[in-house]
A and B are shown apart, each in its own frame.
Chain A
Amino acid sequence: MFEARLVQSSILKKVLEAIKELLNEATFDCSDSGIQLQAMDNSHVSLVSLNLRSDGFDKYRCDRNLSMGINLASMSKIMKCAGNDDVLTMKAQDNADLVTFMFESQNQEKVMDYEMKLMNLDQEHLGIPETDYSCVIKLPSQEFARIVRDLSQFGESVVISCTKEGIKFSAGGDIGNANIKLAQTSNVDKDEDAVTIEMQEPVSLTFACRYLNSFAKATPLSPQVQLSMSADVPLVVEYKIGDIGHIRYYLAPKIED
């Protein structure tokens, strides 16, 4: 028996928005420790890794490990039926081919049950090595989304350069060049507005705007985003999901032909 209850169903709605542009389907691996998902996008360029810890749920029970293959477009249709303030419970029997999403209004006067068929997906898990990154940058997630969106107008790629002084995002193409520099903030009223840099070595890497824009769909999950970079290894873009977990996206830098 698997049962997971979230008072804020909006969290799962936002998680879905954060993955459905990259993934058509994915396996939600449920265990005693929580719900995990790891999947590459269709072109195998980027990797999405989601972790929702069992202790972050309002109620969580998973007697046997369960892998739920889910069509994300179908799940999205169901999640659209939930109000943001509804309480969500996901339920499945052991070895089930169905998952039930139950939504309850706050006053418990309306209860909705949606059953969805599960799929058998060939899942390939990748081993992500422990890495000490040369630069770890934290910045407001809305700022990151805005920068990536703005620079996407100039070209297919954005160069992210990090030094102790700050971060520079650059793009260039037929219409011209664009540079956006962010300095490390010295003092801000709110932590979520801060730009912080932990740097061992300066780094400058080129990334595909298209994927960064897809990662930025996670912006509603967290006020801050963390970028971890080292030369010649994939960038990690991480959004914390409240006290329940995180979503991480991995994208290899472009290399000169």
Chain B
Amino acid sequence: MALQPSITEYFATR
């Protein structure tokens, strides 16, 4: 089963 990571795991809060 493939997992869907959140976009926040790649882009940090500014």
Contacts and interface: CB of A to CB of B under 8 A. Distances in A.
B3 A126 contact: no
B5 A255 contact: yes
Nearest to A206: B2
Interface string B1-14: 11111111111111
A208 interface: yes
Interface stretch (A39-47, A75-83, A160-168, A185-193): A39-47
Interface residues of A, number: 24
Interface of A is mostly: loop
Nearest to A127: B14
Interface in A43-94: 43-47
Contacts, number: 57
A124 B6 CA distance: 14
Nearest to A254: B2
Given A125-B14, A126-B12, A127-B11, A44 B6 contact: yes
A252 interface: yes
A176 interface: no
B3 to A, nearest CB: 5
Nearest to B7: A47
The 7 nearest A-B residue pairs measured at CB: A254-B2, A126-B11, A127-B14, A125-B14, A252-B5, A44-B6, A47-B7
21 contacts: A43-B6, A47-B11, A125-B13, A125-B14, A126-B8, A127-B11, A128-B11, A206-B2, A208-B4, A233-B10, A250-B7, A250-B10, A250-B11, A252-B9, A254-B2, A254-B3, A254-B4, A255-B2, A255-B5, A256-B3, A257-B3
Given A43-B6, A233-B10, 8 more contacts: A40-B7, A234-B10, A250-B7, A251-B7, A252-B10, A254-B4, A254-B5, A257-B2
